[in-house]
Amino acid sequence: MTIEVIAPGKMILVGEYAVLYGSPALVSAVNRNARVCLDSKPGSGICVNAPEVQLNDFRGLLKNQKLVDASGEALPRSLKVVAAVLQHFAEELEPKLEQKCLHITIDTSGFVQNENGFKLGLGSSAAVTVALMRAVMAYLGKEGVEVSPQALFERAHQLHQKMQGGVGSGLDIAASVFGGLVAFGETEADALVVPEKLEALSWPAMAPVFVGVSASTPDLVMKVNTWRDREPSAFRELIDAMRKEAASVIVASRSGDLREVRKGCSSYCELMARLGTLSGADIISEAHRALCDASARKGFDYKPSGAGGGDLGLILASENHELTSFRETVEQLGGSWTELGISPEGVRLVRK
């Protein structure tokens, strides 16, 4: 029996940082997928191949609901997602893995920029979590309500958040599960989120570009949190402004007012810059600033996608053909064209 599942990565469109405090946010699935294949073969335990994280024929066993290396060595860090998902289903999996060996193949090659080998910051760990969880559920024969999008989101978000030390908005998980454009409504901080997949892909012409450097999201968030604790009143005031701007972008997207979407994204970029200045976090880094300024000179709008610092920037225009001639400028500034786009589909079981 072979099971194959694919799940898309994500681009955050608006709501960065503020979403962690219950503010609205909008995320899209992208046309780069994590692919997970499960094959049941003679033997016992598991065998994992994931070339992008240097896992080659890793052999493991589930014992007492814990994944252990069959050779007795410590588990490699790159096995974190696989271990978490298998342990989540350990009670049901252990008896089956005593009878058959489960071969797990994970392909995340689409999350890397081909020209330079940099990761694009598209949420590969979230996409693998969703794809592997859905594949294991198929392997265990789970159907119906258990594998509905909301149920899968809640299960995967809880597990992924636990892997990250209890933090994480769930935007990346939502994009991988639902696909398309997914809105988070305003909630109380730490409250259960019910993502909403928007009916239409109402978004301006967009060129997502890799700015030329990778970013460390935990480092940026740590600096923001330090400033939050030092200046709580100023922090709340800025987060409130970000909340209002994110909400206006979502309203504009729902109504198809793409001019207001662009205006709101540009304003949100300014708020992210202010957050970086006040906290000392390099959110609008030199790489982002150069692309932002060059975009403005062409009449385009710009914002980082995600925590900033590096990774992805979004260039927004009225028409796609306007963006094509801008590619040379992006590359002259050290960035690279990604050909990323919004994927209408979320996680899907493509073979069983």
User: Is 91:136 a contact under the CB 8 Å cutoff?
Assistant: no
Rounded CA-CA distance 316/303 in Å is 9
pLDDT for 189 equals 64
Of 173, 240, 188, 237, the C-alpha closest to 22 is: 188
- Please indicate, yes or no, whether the overall pTM of this predicted structure exceeds 0.75: yes
pLDDT for 166 equals 83
Of 18, 14, 19, 29, the C-alpha closest to 302 is: 14
DSSP 152-206: HHHHHHHHHHHHTTS---SHHHHHHHH-SEEEEPP--TTPPP--EE-SS----EE
User: Which single residue is written with the structure tokens 């330079």?
Assistant: 116
Backbone angles phi, psi at 260, to 5 degrees: -70, -35
What letter represents residue 264's amino acid?
A: G
Residue 168 zone, left/alpha/beta (φ > 0; ψ -120 to 50; rest) = left
- Every domain range in the chain assigned CATH 3.30.70.890: 205-337
Could you tell me the fold of the domain covering 2-199+344-351? Ribosomal Protein S5; domain 2 (3.30.230)
pLDDT for 116 equals 59
What letter represents residue 33's amino acid?
A: N
pLDDT for 115 equals 58
pLDDT for 259 equals 96
Of 27, 307, 308, the C-alpha closest to 184 is: 27
Rounded CA-CA distance 305/121 in Å is 9
What letter represents residue 46's amino acid?
A: I
- Every domain range in the chain assigned CATH 3.30.230.10: 2-199+344-351
- Put the strands of the sheet holding 301-305 in their side by side order: 301-305, 312-317, 205-210, 336-337
Per-residue confidence in pLDDT tens, the chain, 352 aa: 799 999 999 999 999 999 999 999 999 999 999 999 999 999 999 999 999 988 999 999 999 999 999 888 889 999 999 999 999 999 999 999 999 999 999 999 999 876 556 777 899 999 999 999 999 999 999 989 889 999 999 999 999 999 988 888 999 999 999 999 999 998 876 677 889 999 888 999 999 999 988 888 889 999 999 999 999 999 999 999 999 999 999 999 999 999 999 999 999 999 999 999 999 999 999 999 999 999 999 999 999 999 999 899 999 999 999 999 999 999 999 999 999 999 999 999 997 7
Pull the structure tokens for residue 45.
């335990």
Three-state SS at 41:
strand
Of 298, 137, 309, the C-alpha closest to 210 is: 309
Pick the CATH number of 205-337 from 3.40.50.1820, 1.10.940.10, 3.40.50.620, 3.30.70.890: 3.30.70.890
> Contacts by 329-335 with C-beta closer than 8 Å and gap 24+?
329/294, 329/298, 330/207, 330/209, 330/291, 330/294, 333/212, 333/287, 333/290, 333/291, 333/294, 334/211, 334/212, 334/287, 334/290, 335/209, 335/210, 335/211, 335/212, 335/287, 335/291
Of 70, 51, 50, the C-alpha closest to 60 is: 70
